[in-house]
Structure 1
Amino acid sequence: MVVREQFQLDLNDLQAKLLELGELASVALKKSIEALETCNIEMALKVIDDDSEADALYEEINDFAILLIAKQAPVAIDLRRIIVAIKIATDIERIADFAVNIAKSTIRIGNEEHVQSLQQVKKMYNITTEMLELSLQAFGEEDVVKAKKVADMDDEVDELYGSTIRELLELNHSYPENIPQMTQLSFICRYLERSADHVTNIAESIFYLVKGRHYDLNA
């Protein structure tokens, strides 16, 4: 097998690992929100325990990418593909960490009845996971149109975050005894909003991959 063919196989392997990491992060978010909805402490603990798998895969991706750079000395678009893979892996790993944070907040809330409907939280979650899925498709296809759509969807998450936090602040005055729970719910909203920001970072990395220059899609 010629060197170029092997290098392309290695790049494909790197992309496959990245998509696997994205799936782990997506599943972690799904389980953390489900645990919140159902007050399922055992599920929340499982999210925390399973994070070690995402951490290990993240390290594997980084090591593999660095090895490719050292062995192949890639240039131009190939070098950008590897650099972008490292950056995207970092953003995905942070999303997995936010899922863990949501699980920890769920544990702190415990079995208390929720003082606020989780409808807005679920909307934020649904948009964020849709963004993540679309961003990974955009990466695989090197599609800046899909990447731009991801960035546009982040505005919806920001609006939901703002309105939900305002509602929680108003509830603080009416139900001061529930401030600890509302604090945790505020944190959860923040973790989802930050997750969406990291997905937007992925979209920006795709623009860099395809266009060869940096774009601020949150501007």
Structure 2
Amino acid sequence: MVGREQFQEELNHVEEVIIEMAEKTIEQLNNAVDALYKSNVEKAEKVVKDDKALDHLDFQINEESILLIARQQPVATDLRRLIVAIRISSDLERMADNAKNIAKSTIHLGADHGIQIHASIEEMRQVAVKMIELAIKSYKGEDITLARKLAELDDVLDNMYSTMLRELLEETATNPQKIQHIMQMAFSGRYVERIGDHTTNIGEDVLYLVKGESADLNN
């Protein structure tokens, strides 16, 4: 019984670190987009620097999960929990990388780029944050209904990105001298859209955890 209690305690710790990682990922995304709109290169550089903390948490989750698998040799649901923890950690790390890439776009643009950042990036950020929060809530509660809702939000995010990209391409036709700056906005929108894809991966992981079946929420 003591061994089982120890295993559950260590598993709970892994899940707590995942929640911490999700919160930091949201913070990174918010800071990156804020820096983009305010042309705040210093804040963008901090986002790039702080990404290392997310990498460390990803490594920690992987190490703890692998050690638990090796030491306890769990089966059925317990094994799925650890596999899912590793998967979710990887997706959160990649989300954080996309936030870092937005910050790099801000650095590339510089403090005095003189262009207005497209409003859709902020709107997309709001949807992406909602998706991350929903994904983690579905994970904590093992709620497959919430997990499936991520597909609907991902469609919204995809449509927002497509509309923004079309408008930006039209702008390059009238402002060819600013094409490099406009493309950095397009890249930033793409990074937010990719974050949405990674949150649907978490939804798929929740479905796998609860039902033991693979699913595809990106189609």
TM-score by length of 1: 0.97
- 2:113 maps to 112
Residue of structure 2 in register with 1:7 after alignment: 7
Equivalent AA in structure 2 for residue 33 of structure 1: V
Q: Which amino acid aligns with 1:6?
A: Q
- Cα distance in 2 for partners of 1:170, 1:85 equals 43
Q: Give the aligned partner of residue 61 of structure 1.
A: 61
- Rounded to whole Å, the distance in 2 between the matches of 1:205 and 1:103 is 28
Distance, in Å, in 2 between the alignment partners of 1:151 and 1:11 is 28
What residue ranges of structure 1 are gaps of 5+ in the alignment?
none
Residue 192 (structure 1) aligns with = 192
Identity %: 44
Amino acid paired to 2:141: E
Alignment RMSD (CA, Å):
0.9
Offset at 1:118? 2.7
Report the Cα distance in structure 2 between the residues aligned to 1:74 and 1:92, rounded to whole angstroms. Answer: 24
Q: Tell me, which stretches of 5 or more residues in structure 2 are unaligned? A: none
Which of structure 1's runs of 4+ aligned residues deviate more than 4 A?
A: none
TM-score (norm 2): 0.97
Structure 2 matches for 1:26-175, cutoff 5 A? 26-110=26-110, 111-115=112-116, 117-175=117-175
* 8 Å contact from structure 2 (residues 150, 217) kept in 1: no
Q: Is the 8 A contact 2:88 2:205 kept in 1?
A: yes
Q: How many residues align?
A: 218
Structure 2 matches for 1:177-188, cutoff 5 A?
177-188=177-188
Write out per-residue CA displacement over residues 99-154 of structure 1, whole angstroms, 9 at most, x where no aligned residue.
11000001111121224x53211111100011001100110110001111112100
In the alignment, the residues of structure 2 paired with residue 15 and residue 113 of structure 1 have an alpha-carbon distance, to the nearest angstrom, of: 44
